[in-house]
């Protein structure tokens, strides 16, 4: 900032003042009533000494105008006039005394201890935004007071602002100042001077000082005045004359981009940056009209900053309240949705429990009907007529003798199969099967049988007929190991007939078994054959395809249907023996895929433990994992099991389990639909609240925000000549700088 000087002295005068300052150990003259103690500095017009008021002991500053011939006494008298005019103003360095008749003349001012603002910036560099604004506001207040008394400073810069003992600013050096009614131009200091001020015909304007204020605050924050850099200084200093120099300065300020370095200062807020921009507007009309407007803008900024915590609280409060409402609302929404889904699921479980029990009872009734039919067929006298002739067959005796050899058994079996009396039994059994088949063709509710056969008391199969076209026959083979004969779980096949093998005593439902030809699951209903003397004569057996069991009737659908499962303990536990998919495949395939039976229904589903803790929607249909069933059955199900019981007083479980499946998604679909509707309504309400809040905040911000005035940057027409008033002094300054 060494170049920020308003110079009015010739080269010779400047050299003489330097020489004088080097040898100054005594003041140029004695000021009556004051004692000059030490040299404070030298200037264009003379020296400034620190002295003491002999009457009060107060420190003062005495300015001696030692270079009389270079002094513009009109300027000096005007400065004294302005200082007198501003007497008692706390923001201005006060004039105490004037020695017009002394040689050299002098005037006495109050002594400001901490030097100039320019010196402070040299010592400690730029200021923080808070310190800079506090200092700048006092400068604005001091300038506003001066303007209020009709005094325009016209050369405001850091070097002309002194700092008192409290580091508060005091305006000094009113040598270029003008009264508001004066029409004479006044040149200030480059880069602190408004562009329109750089004209020797310019009329003083309060907006000159407004521009200087913006430059000072900019300098406090950045360290240099706006637009000042090596290129701009060189461009101006290389001007040929004063007119060219002023024109270059005006053009530089008016056409250069608006300064922006201050906006990058840490902690800079938009309001303060806008104040600086408006002060530095190159066009006077874009600037603040006066210093009071600058103070009003500062006060508005301070009010906005003081309101900021309340505004933030006013914004954060609703946001926090809304966030809390959203949190607890969404939490309550999820909990309500979950509880409602649990209620719907429990209702589905209850409904399906009833349906599964109903289906299981229907199977029990179906089995009871089969039991009755089996007992009726076993007790028919006509059957006995066909069985009696077989007792005398040697081939059958050989088959039932435990000591028969394998060769004897093979020969006897072939003879037995082809015996006409056995064939007559087979014909009788076929007639009975065709009768049931014919009835089933007329009435779908009529019983259907897969096969009918008879076994003698040793377990040898006497005759058999099948509903299928081609099946393997066990005629002549011993089947005493099968559950329909023994009444117990099956054991390995007997190699020979045994005497008095274990047999059933009453009508019996066998274990589930699989057809070797169709892989369909079957069950056998067997009833003992008794002689007139109540002797066990054998077993009459009806076999039924489990796929022919009507479990639930017309209420079944793709989303809700029963499944029959083998619930016995052992390797086959959990095997699906009847499923809607089986019925679909029967129309296109004679055999069910073997892979269907490799996966099992989990035990926790069969025993009902999957329904604990409202977790019934986690069942995955095993057939959903197979490609043939993936499209329709690969989804979560609610599965409820009910055991099928025997149709007798024991009510013992048969080992069959009815599993009622219902699509979990269908059960909770109404809940999810309700949830989506509630969520949609909630989001609409939330959007409305947010929109209303944003609208209110927009209104509040617009209400309290100062409108930002657009600042123009345009080219300046520099073709017109600049008057040469007061040119000699500035021309001398230019010449002196070139020599330096």
Instruction: Pick the catalytic residue from 4, 53, 138, 155.
Output: 155
**Cα dist. 1→188, 211, 331, 386, 618 in Å?**
15, 18, 65, 136, 82
Beta-sheet pairing, 151-152 with 169-171: unpaired
- Residue 628 CA to residue 286 CA, distance in Å, equals 81
Those residues with Cβ within 8 angstroms of residue 307's Cβ, 6 or more apart along the chain or in another chain:
704
- Residue 537 CA to residue 457 CA, distance in Å, equals 5
The neighbouring-strand residues paired with 543 are 451, 524
Token pair belonging to 229: 């850099």
The answer to whether 373 and 380 have CB atoms below 8 angstroms apart is no
- Residue 644 CA to residue 338 CA, distance in Å, equals 34
**Cα dist. 62→28, 48, 100, 119, 165 in Å?**
11, 6, 13, 20, 18
Instruction: Provide φ and ψ at 723, rounded to 5°.
Output: -60, 150
Token pair belonging to 532: 């007139």
The answer to whether 528 and 503 have CB atoms below 8 angstroms apart is yes
Local structure of 212: helix, strand or coil: helix
- Residue 335 CA to residue 347 CA, distance in Å, equals 18
Token pair belonging to 498: 């045994």
Please report, in angstroms and rounded to a whole number, the separation of the first and last CA atoms in the chain: 17
DSSP, residue by residue, 435-475: HHHHHHHH-TTS---SEEEEEETTSBEEEEEESSSS----T
Pick from 651, 670, 13, 686: which is nearest to 361 by CA? Answer: 651
Pick from 87, 38, 42, 35: which is nearest to 58 by CA? Answer: 35
- Sheet of 95-99, strands arranged across: 34-42, 47-53, 59-64, 106-110, 95-99
Pick from 461, 451, 517, 521: which is nearest to 485 by CA? Answer: 461
- Residue 39 CA to residue 114 CA, distance in Å, equals 15
Those residues with Cβ within 8 angstroms of residue 131's Cβ, 6 or more apart along the chain or in another chain:
none
How many helices (H) and strands (E) the chain has is answered by 19, 20
Q: Tell me if residue 467 is catalytic.
A: no
- Residue 92 CA to residue 79 CA, distance in Å, equals 12
- Residue 65 CA to residue 53 CA, distance in Å, equals 19
Q: Which residues are catalytic?
A: 155
């Amino acid at each position: 900032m060494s170049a920020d000087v308003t110079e009015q002295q010739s080269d010779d005068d400047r050299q003489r003042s330097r020489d004088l300052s080097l040898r100054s150990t005594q003041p140029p003259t004695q000021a009556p009533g004051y004692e000059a103690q030490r040299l404070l500095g030298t200037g264009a017009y003379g020296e400034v000494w620190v002295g003491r008021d002999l009457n009060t002991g107060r420190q003062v500053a005495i300015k001696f105008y030692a270079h009389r011939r270079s002094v513009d006494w009109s300027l000096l008298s005007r400065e004294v006039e302005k200082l007198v005019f501003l007497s008692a103003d706390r923001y201005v360095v006060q004039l105490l005394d004037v020695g017009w008749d002394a040689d050299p003349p002098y005037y006495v001012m109050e002594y400001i201890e901490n030097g100039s603002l320019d010196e402070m910036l040299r010592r400690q560099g730029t200021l923080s935004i808070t310190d800079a604004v506090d200092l700048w506001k006092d400068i604005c207040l001091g300038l506003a007071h001066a303007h209020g008394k009709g005094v325009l400073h016209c050369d405001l810069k850091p070097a002309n602002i002194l700092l008192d003992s409290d580091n508060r600013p005091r305006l000094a050096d009113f040598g270029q100042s003008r009264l508001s009614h004066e029409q004479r131009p006044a040149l200030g200091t480059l880069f602190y001077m408004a562009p329109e001020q750089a004209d020797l015909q310019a009329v003083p304007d309060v907006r000159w000082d407004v521009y200087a204020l913006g430059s000072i605050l900019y300098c406090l924050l950045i360290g240099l005045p706006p637009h000042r850099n090596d290129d701009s200084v060189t461009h101006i200093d290389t001007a040929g004359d004063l007119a060219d120099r002023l024109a270059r300065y005006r053009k530089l300020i008016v056409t250069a981009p608006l300064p922006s370095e201050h906006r990058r200062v840490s902690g800079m807020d938009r309001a303060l940056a806008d104040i600086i921009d408006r002060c530095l507007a190159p066009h006077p009309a874009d600037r603040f009209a006066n210093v009071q407007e600058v103070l009003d803008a500062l006060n508005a900024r301070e009010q906005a900053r003081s309101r900021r915590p309340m505004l933030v609280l006013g914004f954060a409060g609703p946001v926090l309240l809304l966030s809390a409402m959203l949190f607890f609302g969404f939490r309550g929404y999820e909990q309500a949705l979950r509880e409602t889904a649990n209620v719907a699921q429990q209702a589905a479980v209850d409904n399906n429990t009833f349906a599964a029990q109903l289906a299981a009872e229907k199977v029990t009734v179906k089995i009871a009907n089969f039991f009755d039919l089996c007992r009726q067929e076993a007790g028919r006298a006509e059957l006995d007529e066909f069985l009696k002739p077989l007792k005398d067959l040697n081939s059958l005796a050989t088959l039932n003798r435990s000591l028969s050899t394998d060769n004897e058994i093979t020969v006897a079996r072939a003879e037995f199969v082809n015996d006409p009396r056995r064939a007559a039994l087979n014909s009788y059994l076929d007639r009975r099967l065709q009768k049931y088949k014919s009835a089933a063709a007329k009435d779908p509710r009529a019983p259907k049988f897969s096969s009918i056969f008879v076994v003698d008391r040793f377990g040898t199969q006497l005759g058999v007929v099948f509903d299928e076209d081609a099946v393997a026959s066990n005629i002549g083979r011993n089947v005493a190991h099968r559950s329909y004969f023994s009444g117990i779980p099956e054991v390995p096949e007997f190699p020979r007939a045994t005497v008095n093998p274990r047999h059933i005593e009453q009508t019996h439902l066998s274990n589930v078994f699989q057809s070797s030809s169709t892989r369909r699951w079957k069950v056998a209903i067997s009833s003992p054959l008794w002689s007139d003397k109540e002797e066990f004569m054998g077993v009459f057996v009806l076999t039924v395809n489990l796929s022919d069991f009507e479990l639930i009737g017309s209420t079944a659908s793709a989303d809700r249907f029963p499944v029959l499962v083998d619930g016995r303990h052992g390797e086959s536990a959990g095997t699906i023996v009847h499923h809607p998919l089986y019925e679909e495949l029967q129309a296109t395939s004679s055999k069910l895929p073997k892979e269907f039976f490799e996966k099992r229904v989990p035990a926790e589903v069969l025993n009902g433990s999957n329904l604990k803790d409202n977790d019934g929607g986690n069942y995955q249909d095993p057939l959903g994992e197979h490609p043939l069933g993936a499209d329709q059955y690969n989804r979560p199900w609610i599965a409820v099991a009910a055991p099928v019981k025997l149709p007798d007083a024991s009510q013992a479980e048969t080992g069959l389990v009815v599993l009622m499946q219902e699509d979990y998604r269908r059960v909770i679909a109404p809940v999810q639909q309700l949830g989506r509707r509630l969520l949609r309504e909630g989001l609409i309400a939330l959007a409305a609240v947010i929109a209303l809040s944003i609208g209110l905040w927009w209104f509040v911000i617009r209400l309290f925000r100062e409108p930002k005035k657009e600042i123009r940057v345009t080219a300046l027409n520099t073709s017109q000549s600049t008057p040469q008033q007061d040119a000699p002094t500035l021309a001398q300054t230019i010449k002196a700088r070139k020599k330096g």
